[in-house]
Amino acid sequence: MNIIICDDQKETLKSLSNAVTKIIEKNNFNGSVALETTDPMEVLKYDKISSDNLNIYLLDINYKMKYTGIDLARKLREKNPFCYIVFITGHIEYTFYNFKYNLKSFEYLIKPVEFKDLEKCIHNLYKDYKKSQSILNGDNNNYLHLTTGHKQHTVNLAEIVIVESMAHKLIFKCKDKQVTIYGSLAEYEKKLTSMSKNFLRVHKSYIVNLKNVKKINYLDQVMVMNDGDQCYISRRKKAILKKIMGNM
């Protein structure tokens, strides 16, 4: 895991680099700060020679020079759709540009960055980085990519418990988190069932992972999941569900 940090304030740059290194060593992560620089052009040079598609870029937004952090992120994203971009800024209003240019940043950290916030970010980055490594190594069918707001989420199919439709939103209820996006249940029914036979739409508002079912009350038409969550079963899906569960 290669981390590249760019901030035009030398003290902030050194502080971030030291904090990231401390977090990596503390948690025994396989990674390092590969580059720390005040010059955006140095970042582009590094990216050009780097063979890693999953580089992690921690970027300030306001540079006192030709390039802004947004400009730099656009250049990086054009070349590499898989790299991670984290903006570190005191100007939250710049989040608008993330949507405008489809930069798909992983996180925004507000200056001055607190250690606990940086540590949480590095933890989440490392977790997602390991998943992305598996995908790039040919394990892509086990993961679903979701975009919400300015964040990208890589979700392991086995971790999904229920997908619930509510108004125009879909709530992916997973074992360790919940992700809410805009979309149609029909779209993700098609996508999930093509990726795994463990998913079934049991109701107009629910898709479930059958591997995460704890018990089914066919009389009351209620399904209880391993995490204690519940959902309804439509009458027309009862027979299909009985047949599938009997063969699992």
Indicate if the pLDDT at residue 65 is higher than 80. no
Per-residue pLDDT tens digits for 81-121: 889 999 998 877 777 877 788 888 999 999 999 999 999 99
* Spatial distance between the Cα atoms of 227 and 205, rounded to a whole number of angstroms: 19
Torsion of CA 145, 149, 151, 156, to 10 degrees: -30
Q: What does the pLDDT average to over 118-134?
A: 90
pLDDT value at 141 more than 80? no
Q: What is the rounded CA–CA span in Å between residue 70 and residue 12?
A: 19
| Mean pLDDT score, 216-244 | 92
Tell me the whole-structure pTM to 2 decimals: 0.62
For 64, counting Cβ atoms within 10 Å of its Cβ (0-12 exposed, 13-18 middle, 19+ buried), the class is exposed
CATH 2.40.50.1020 domain locations along the chain:
150-246
Q: What confidence score (pLDDT) does residue 32 get?
A: 95
- Tell me which fold the domain 150-246 belongs to: OB fold (Dihydrolipoamide Acetyltransferase, E2P) (2.40.50)
Look up the CATH architecture of domain 2-139.
3-Layer(aba) Sandwich (3.40)
Instruction: Outline which parts of the chain fall under CATH 3.40.50.2300.
Output: 2-139
**Is pLDDT of 248 > 80?**
no
- The tens digit of pLDDT for each residue in 19-64 reads 999 999 999 999 999 999 999 999 999 998 887 878 999 999 887 7
Mean of pLDDT values over 2-31: 95
Residue scoring higher pLDDT (69 or 152): 69
